[in-house]
Amino acid sequence: MKKIKEYDILKIMAIILVVLSHSAYYKISSNYGGMDYQQYLNSHSAFTLYKILGKFMEIIYYFHMPLFMAISGVFFSIQIKKDRWNKIEKLLTSKFKRLMLPFFVFTLLYSLPLKYISNYYNGVSFWRAITGQFFLLGNSHLWYLYALFIIFIISFYCLRRDTSIFVYLSLYILHVLSFLIHITLVSAPLQFLFWFSMGFLFESKRRKYNIFLENHKWISLLFFVLFIFLVVLNFLFKSDFKVLSRFFVDLLAILGSLICYNISYFLSNKTKILDSKLLNLILINGLGIYIFSDTLNYFILSISYFVSDRFMFTSFGIIIIFLIRFFFTLFLGLVFTLLFKKVFPKYSWLVN
């Protein structure tokens, strides 16, 4: 498959945004495990800084996973054009190997043990912990792999070269209805199927959109202004107008994704950013970074608390811990991926 530079840069941005968005929280709570360091933030200034940092992460959350799903939809569109998936059996075999096997293997052999070491499962039985992870009842960042597997199956039947606008409208209705479903195994695929389909649709319009971008460079600034405007509106109204807030967040997902694409497109034309060996390593090993990075946050927080139960709750400590978590989880995720490929070359497809 011929490399499309703007998509490569976009994938790198998406990976970095996901790691960044997971680097600030001090609290994760569920009936199947969790941790709460937020309760120790007694300083008003430290707590205020923590909440401000949380707001920035919330803004990234508006669009980073829709963007991730859209990128998957983009490549599915390219593969459909090449008739790669002409039989459902072929798709099922490939995607089960690529998505569900990593979900099972790394949930059991990586996420669960590391969470136990990090005191994530205090007071939670082993079987309850396993149930929470495999059935997505607790916090599991690998939900993305399961959801994408289901999305690929549904998309095989409803997303084709000549997909009707009514199909996209139907998928948006399912997206909206998914927020009424409280079973993650069902709601997650339905919620993100729409964003996958938007990536699928975008690829068919990409060349025209690129020409439009070249002739109307100001549109990126307009998108950014609209994005900030909607962020402010959502912060003001989300508590009292939840339906309106849901609509705002969907618009923010579209705008945020388009802004990232625009940046990627201009970088692909104006710079040689893809000559960077580090960025190419992130690009090639994105799945492994996603798999290994998030759970490291719990370990870093538990070690930080063990070393000093005060520093991480100061304003300065919050910033330092945030930076440590971002850089360490990103680069350790990359290192673990490379090590896995080195030690288990026959199974490198699990993280590739």
pLDDT digits (tens, 9 = 90+) for 108-131: 999 999 999 999 999 899 999 999
Tally the domains of the chain. 1
The average pLDDT across 33-46 equals 95
Summarised one tens digit per residue, pLDDT across range 208-222 is 999 999 999 999 999
Please determine, for residue 333, whether its predicted confidence score (pLDDT) is greater than 80. Answer: yes
The average pLDDT across 25-32 equals 92
Q: What is the DSSP string of 43-74?
A: -HHHHHHHHHHHHHHHHHHTTHHHHHHHHHHH
| Residue keyed to tokens 């609509």 | 247
Summarised one tens digit per residue, pLDDT across range 60-95 is 999 999 999 999 999 999 999 998 998 999 999 999
The average pLDDT across 303-322 equals 95
The average pLDDT across 326-346 equals 97
Please determine, for residue 1, whether its predicted confidence score (pLDDT) is greater than 80. Answer: no
Yes or no: say if 26 and 36 are a contact pair by the CB < 8 Å rule: yes
The CA-based angle 146-185-294, given to 5 degrees, is 50
Q: What is the pLDDT of residue 329?
A: 98
Residues facing residue 36 across a β-bridge: 27
The average pLDDT across 192-196 equals 98
Please give the share of the chain, as a percent, with pLDDT higher than 90. 91
Choose among 249, 271, 319: nearest CA to 12.
271
Provide the whole-model pTM: 0.96
Q: What is the pLDDT of residue 83?
A: 87
Cα 24 from Cα 151, distance rounded (Å): 29
Q: What is the pLDDT of residue 161?
A: 83
Yes or no: say if 69 and 192 are a contact pair by the CB < 8 Å rule: yes
Q: Among the listed ranges 15-24, 117-126, 224-233, which one has the minimum average pLDDT value?
A: 117-126
| Residue keyed to tokens 């990409």 | 206
Summarised one tens digit per residue, pLDDT across range 145-176 is 999 999 999 999 999 888 999 999 999 999 99
State the pLDDT confidence band at 271, using cuts at 50, 70 and 90. confident
28 by DSSP, 3-state: which? strand
Cα 193 from Cα 151, distance rounded (Å): 6
Top mean pLDDT of 128-137, 237-246, 328-337 is at 328-337
> For the chain, what is the mean pLDDT?
95
Q: Tell me the residue range of the domain where 135 lies.
A: 5-350
Please determine, for residue 2, whether its predicted confidence score (pLDDT) is greater than 80. Answer: no
Please determine, for residue 3, whether its predicted confidence score (pLDDT) is greater than 90. Answer: no
Q: Report the chain's C-alpha Rg in angstroms.
A: 21
* Cα separation of the two ends of the chain: 16
Cα 70 from Cα 255, distance rounded (Å): 13
Q: What is the pLDDT of residue 160?
A: 87
Q: What is the pLDDT of residue 6?
A: 97
Q: What is the DSSP string of 265-321?
A: HHHHHH--GGG-HHHHHHHHTHHHHHHHHHHHHHHHHHHHHHH-TTGGGSHHHHHHH
Work out the number of other CB atoms within 10 angstroms of the CB of residue 226: 14
Kindly give the residue spans of alpha helices, DSSP state H, lying in 159-285. 165-177, 184-215, 218-237, 242-270, 277-284
Where is 156: in which H helix or E strand? helix 143-158
Cα 268 from Cα 186, distance rounded (Å): 37
Q: What is the pLDDT of residue 352?
A: 85
Yes or no: say if 7 and 286 are a contact pair by the CB < 8 Å rule: no
Cα 226 from Cα 243, distance rounded (Å): 19
The two structure tokens encoding residue 219: 């549109």
